[in-house]
Structure 1
Amino acid sequence: MEQLIIYIEEREALADEAACIFRVHERLRNANEKAYTPILISIGPYHRCQPKLLAMEKCKEHYLELLLQRNNNLRKKDYLDSMKKLEERACKCYADPVDHLDSDESVKMMLYDACFVIEFLFGLYEFFVVEDKHQQSHVGDEVKVSWKMIQICRDLMLLENQLPFFVISEFYDMSCGVGVTQNPNRNHPDTTSTLTLTLTITLTLTSTPTPTLTKLALLPIFQNLPRRIGVKFEAVEDDNDGLNLSMFDIRFEHDLFKIPKFTVADSTETFFRNIIAYEQHSLDDKSKYFTDYTYFMDQLINCKQDVTQLRRHEVLENWLGDDEVVAVMFNDLGIGTIIMLSFYYAEQCSKVNAHCKRRWNRVVASLKRDYFTNMWVTVATIAAAFLFLLTLTQTVISFFLRAHARARPHPDTDDAGNLLS
């Protein structure tokens, strides 16, 4: 009876395993296909056997040998047997069919890919942390050669280039002598992908609260905000308690936006696109922080002048060089995305819109836009205002002089106005 209960529980666990590794849907992919496609290495079944990625397959075999050296009590067959027990559960983590691989190919692929990820991360640790170069026994060219390391790190963050994290966790435990899996459904740190781990760590470290349900009806008024409504910006790094802020902690107080500093580099678009793609494919009850963040920034940024303004206030550091490229990036990140009612920045949008509705704020913003756009327009405006004041002063003085002259009596008349003889 106990065995039957265990069997039923295991079947239910497999049935409830939600897919967490997706192929990016067409609307997102069409915006920038290269952002979702690996350049150097394939991890998982979606991009396996692409000709340009086959060169790294030999490298994976070498990394498996490195992993075997960590625990001499286990052989390659032990790892294969463990992977066979996890195969059914692992395949259920992929939203799209992976039946182009037979069982043996699938088991071998996941083993080799997981061992590569583990040893590559070990290599990064040894290269950057271990000072004694003689102890860097697992540091290969994939870590030492900068362009390879950067490309591999970039490929490992792609949504379609993932393994279930429990597979990696299992082989890491085995290499450290923790033990071999007997139950394929035993608890692991996570059942989702390695990309999900990146997202989870980011959100955990930033302690991001859950957004409240608020309507988005007022968002369109946000268009071209920085240059039209007279809003100012301030870069922030720490909160009032001296703790590091989350990148999501954007606040609007009075006429001032307080925005944590952020850097736009070559990898920024790829990172954002793949995290957003994961959020878009996930269940709707999960908060979509990166989707909301990039949508909010798209509302602030419509052209390169907006990027320039953020950069001048040290809110944004542009490593791409061209502000126009940054503006286009944020404008295109939202293509194909769906914004939920639980929009994270709804409260801040409400504050901004309330500020924009005040007549005085609109008048001041209009004056700044029309008469103080640059130095020469400002000088011309001041000169015109000065001439106007001079003319007005002259008119007033002339009026009072004439009025005073009419009020004074003529010298040839008496007090009654009669002419003197």
Structure 2
Amino acid sequence: MDDNIVMDDKKMSCGQEVGMSSGGAPMPSLHENECTMLGEASGNSLIEPLLSPDGPVLPMSSAEAHVHPRRKAMVGCAAGYFTTKSVTPSVSLPTIYKVPERIRQANKDAFEPYEPQIVSIGPYHHLKKEEFEKHKKLYQKSILSRNPNHLLEDYNTAIEKLENEARSCYSEDVRLNGSEFVKMMVLDGCFIVELFLRAKEEKFEGDDPVFSTISTLPLIRYDMLLLENQIPFSVLQVIYEKASPGNGSLVEIALDFFEPIIPKSKENKIEVSNDQINGRYFHLLHLFYSYLMPTPREKSKKCKILMFLCSKGSNEAELPISNNRSPPIKNEAELSMIPCAAELQLAGVKFKKKKDFSSILDVEFSGGVFKIPQLCIDDNTNTLLRNLVALEQLCYPRVTFHFTNYVGFMDCLVNTSKDVALLRCNGIIDNLSGSNEDVACLFNQLCSGIFVDFENNYLSGIYKDVDKYYNTPWNMGWNKCWGNLRSGYFSNPWVGLSSVAGAIVILLTIAQGLYNFLHY
């Protein structure tokens, strides 16, 4: 895997300087536009899809590498890794992917986090949830009644004009003829838009198939955020404008619909800026992803700090080396691996829940104190995080690598159930599902089989500060000794009392011995 880093269950990789290939030669850099966030240009937190001068850039096979010589600077460029359609630079590249087996196999759970549970949307899982199709048709009938000026034929005609564009959004060939494809797009689009409108208006019948039961709506929310379960946002926009003209922004009502599962502080409510309303989105997952992006604090395009990930069961992080390449050159600025939460606590690092944050990705470290937004772990957290990471893995560099870096960071902190207990105690993890061991396993598996971009890691400054703090002589000596003493003999009040009582007995015994010796 040339110039790529693969993260594994047991080994997390690190080791080469940004902008350098494994042999030390300069790597082709991404075009400046591909490293620019809209938020840096316009002052808001929305991240614009990253584009090259010739359009969106995606990892491609070695046979196509001559089209984009910047291939080496991308993540996931291994030949044959992605099963995508052959495209030319003049054709829009896909945005809706089938998740590759390499990523799928990393999930060891009983259920499939990339496939819908209730409702199938788009061609990849078309009719797999056939029992819900009748409910879609009811929603379609309802949305047609909202604007009598437009009949079903009008919707079909409008989507027919978008057929080629919509087909090009899918990485796999869609085996539906034109009529079937348009019919599917209109039905699924009408269902989604009507669902959004009913949720906003809170007007629905008692026998509504979605709102009448307590469990259906939450599952549908997560189904609509699966990478494989998408239709183009442009299709939704056309249907929304015909069905509900002058009723606000589709972006706003979509984010309102997803608000219950958007990680945010209680002090912050859903606020959508004009730039976000007018933004360009691939699909609903991309909209959700874009809203979660943190506000950029620095305008650095190139980060020279390496990202080091906790190695599970290994003392050193290793970079896989092929037969025809040299080991990575060790740099003087190279950082040590970031220890897990329990080890950091022994070195005097404190963990605090960040109370006011705009994004779950807003992590801070200063003066030996981590401030991390609370992450609620429930039965659907694995599904949501995996699909956000899959979006980055397959659509990079048109999107950032922030969630990949975030789950890598959490994997560093969480090695065992002991680390989970520590983070729960400090309010950083709210575990609503399973045991501490289950949460540790979740983070350890999330990083398996994914690629990491070291060049654009938004947490690079934090890795550097933690390494500097952790390896100071004071923390290496006194703080760790005191931490070990505290964790071993004062882990809870009863153990602490027993330790004090034992120490008193030892001191009295020594005093009695000295007294007897001096009077002998």
Q: What is the TM-score of this pair, normalised by structure 2?
A: 0.64
Q: Which moved more, 1:342-351 or 1:376-385?
A: 376-385
Give the secondary structure class of the aligned counterpart of 2:161.
helix
Deviation, 1:319, is 1.1
Measure how far apart 1:315 and its partner are.
Answer: 2.0
For residue 259 of structure 1, give the secondary structure of its aligned residue in structure 2: strand
CA shift for structure 1 position 368: 3.4
Q: 2:346, 2:482 within 8 Å by CA — same for their partners in 1? A: no
Conserved in 2, the CA contact under 8 Å of 1:84 and 1:107? yes
Q: 2:149 aligns with which of 73, 77, 80?
A: 73
The residue that corresponds to 2:189 in the other structure is 114
Instruction: Tell me which amino acid in the other structure corresponds to 2:441.
Output: V
- The answer to whether the aligner puts 1:268 opposite 2:268 as a matched pair is no
Report the alpha carbon displacement of residue 28 of structure 1 after superposing the two structures with TM. Answer: 1.6
Q: For the residues of structure 2 that align with 1:27 and 1:301, how far apart are their CA atoms?
A: 23
**What is the deviation of 1:369?**
4.5
Q: Displacement, 1:96?
A: 1.8
Aligned to 2:171: 95
Deviations 1:88-121 (A, max 9, x none): 00111111221x1111111111111101100111
Q: What amino acid is aligned across from residue 153 of structure 2 in structure 1?
A: K
Alignment of 1:338-417 (within 5 A): 338-341=451-454, 342-358=456-472, 359-374=477-492, 378-379=496-497, 381-383=499-501, 385-386=503-504, 389-390=507-508
* 2:118–2:220 CA contact under 8 A, matched in 1: yes
Q: Are 1:196 and 2:286 counterparts?
A: yes
State the alpha-carbon separation in 1 of the partners of residues 307 and 221 from structure 2. Answer: 36
Aligned equivalent of 1:303: 416
User: Aligned partners of 1:12 and 1:274: how far apart in 2?
Assistant: 24
Cα displacement (A) at 1:75: 1.2
The sequence identity of aligned pairs, in percent, is: 32
Contact 1:356 1:362 (8 Å CA) reproduced: no
Return the offset for 1:266.
Answer: 1.8
Task: Give the CA deviation at 1:261.
Answer: 2.1
* SS of residue matched to 1:36: coil
Q: Alpha carbons of 1:142 and 1:376: their partners in 2 closer, same or farther (altered >3 Å)? A: closer
2:239 maps to 171
Partner deviation per Cα, 1:189-217 (whole Å, 9 max, x = no partner): 535111101111222xx424467612125
Partner deviation per Cα, 1:290-318 (whole Å, 9 max, x = no partner): 11111111111112221111112222221
CA–CA distance in structure 2, aligned partners of residues 385 and 401 of structure 1: 24
Matched, 1:145 2:213: yes
User: Aligned-pair distance for 1:391?
Assistant: 6.2
SS in 1 for 2:220: helix
Distance 1:164 1:139, change over 3 A: farther
Q: For residues 138 and 60 of structure 1, do their structure 2 counterparts lie closer, same or farther at Cα, with a shift above 3 Å needed? A: farther
Q: How many angstroms apart in 2 are the aligned matches of 1:356 and 1:12? A: 44
Distance 1:109 1:236, change over 3 A: same
> 332-341 or 388-397: which moved more?
388-397
- 1:171 counterpart letter in structure 2: I
Q: Report what 2:443 is aligned to.
A: 330
Offset, 1:349 = 1.8
Q: Which residue of 2 aligns with 1:55?
A: 131
Q: Verify: 1:319 aligned to 2:410, yes or no.
A: no
**Separation in structure 2 between the aligned mates of residue 320 and residue 91 of structure 1, nearest angstrom:** 39
Q: Distance in 2 between matches of 1:68 and 1:189?
A: 27
Larger radius of gyration: 1
Give a deviation string over 1:233-291, Cα, whole Å, max 9, x none. 111212xxxxx442222222233221122211222111111111101111236322211
**For residues 346-389 of structure 1, what are the alpha-carbon distances to aligned partners after superposition, in whole Å with 9 as ceiling and x for unaligned?**
22122222222123333333433454445565455445544555
Higher relative contact order (CA 8 A, sep 6+): 2
SS of residue matched to 1:258: strand
Count of residue correspondences: 366
Pairwise mapping of residues 241-256 of structure 1 onto structure 2 (< 5 A)? 244-256=357-369
- The RMSD of aligned alpha carbons is 2.9
Q: Is the partner of 1:74 in helix, strand or coil?
A: coil
